Amino acid sequence: MSYQTKLAVLFEGSGDASKFEELSERLNVPLRQSTEQNSEAFFLTWRDGCLKLLDKELLKKGGLSVDIEPRNGEQRSYPAPKEGAFSQAIGRKTKTVIDATTGWAQDSLCLFRMGYEVRCIERSLIIMALLNDAFERLALESWVQKLELSPPILMHGNAIELLKNLEMPPDCIYLDPMFPHKRKKSALSKKSMTILQELVGEDSDKTELFEVAFTATAKRVVVKSPDYAEPLGGKPSESFSGKLLRYDVYLKN
């Protein structure tokens, strides 16, 4: 079942109606003024200055949006220090990174704040809409404007096909495919991933994605996985462990 049968744009009476109409037309989904007696399970709407994704449980709780603020424990300075397992895996000499499985973009934004040049691939038009909204908000942040930075570049499409046709290979291709859950997640994390899987589906092609990424990269592929998962590309060149997860690094040379 495609997302068009599950999703509607919700106009709650405030804001520029044409903005909601444009999003409805772009995604080819209905524009609703109420959630009552509708068959859709998910809604996109602007609340609190950002585009949010809601299901019927979240209608009164604010909804989910792409958070452009640093996560707990991350530095707010720019460029943020390249410390910890994540940056070790990406590489301190790395300059260009493609996040081929962008999703909610938290890792992409972390890379951006550390000073890497980041391109983001996302195949879901729904998530793309949320990412576009987030990166537009990011571009308006005072520190971004003061430093004359540009947000990460968004690329829509199937990562396998896009990576096959890159004009310039990046230093690193980063993969964070969805793995089956074996542990209890926090309520928000579980909710965001559940909705993502419901709308986007499982990453059944992650093995092929890895193979294409390894061909397309200039120097390395980094795979983020739960610590219980088998390495996606066989034995890695090196691994760096974080809390309950692991970054496997596959070096090209």
Burial of 216 (0-12, 13-18, 19+ CB in 10 A): buried
What is the per-residue pLDDT across 63-98, written as a single tens digit (0 to 9) for each? Answer: 899 999 988 877 778 999 998 999 999 999 999 999
Q: Are 92 and 81 in contact (CB under 8 A)?
A: no
All structural domains of the chain with their residue ranges: 3-55, 84-251
What is the per-residue pLDDT across 130-141, written as a single tens digit (0 to 9) for each? Answer: 999 999 999 999
The residues with which 98 forms a beta bridge, in sequence order, are 119, 173
Between the CA atoms of 5, 7, 13 and 16, what dihedral angle is there, to the nearest 10 degrees? -110
Overall pTM surpassing 0.85 (yes/no): yes
Beta strands in the chain (DSSP E): 7-10, 31-32, 42-47, 50-55, 96-99, 117-122, 153-156, 172-175, 220-226, 238-242, 245-251
Helix (H) or strand (E) holding 211: helix 206-216
CA–chain centroid gap for 8, Å, is 21
CA atoms within 13 A on the CB side of 34: 3
- % of the chain with per-residue pLDDT over 70: 89
167: nearest Cα among 131, 218, 207: 218
What is the per-residue pLDDT across 175-234, written as a single tens digit (0 to 9) for each? Answer: 998 776 555 544 445 667 777 677 666 667 899 999 999 999 999 999 999 998 999 999
3-class DSSP state for residue 210?
Answer: helix
**Alpha-carbon distance 225 to 93, whole Å?**
23
What is the per-residue pLDDT across 33-56, written as a single tens digit (0 to 9) for each? Answer: 987 767 888 899 999 899 999 887
Domain 84-251, second-level architecture: 3-Layer(aba) Sandwich (3.40)
Q: Give yes or no for residue 27 having a pLDDT over 70.
A: yes
Q: Which tokens in the block code for residue 68?
A: 């452009």
CA–chain centroid gap for 129, Å, is 11
**Alpha-carbon distance 7 to 24, whole Å?**
10
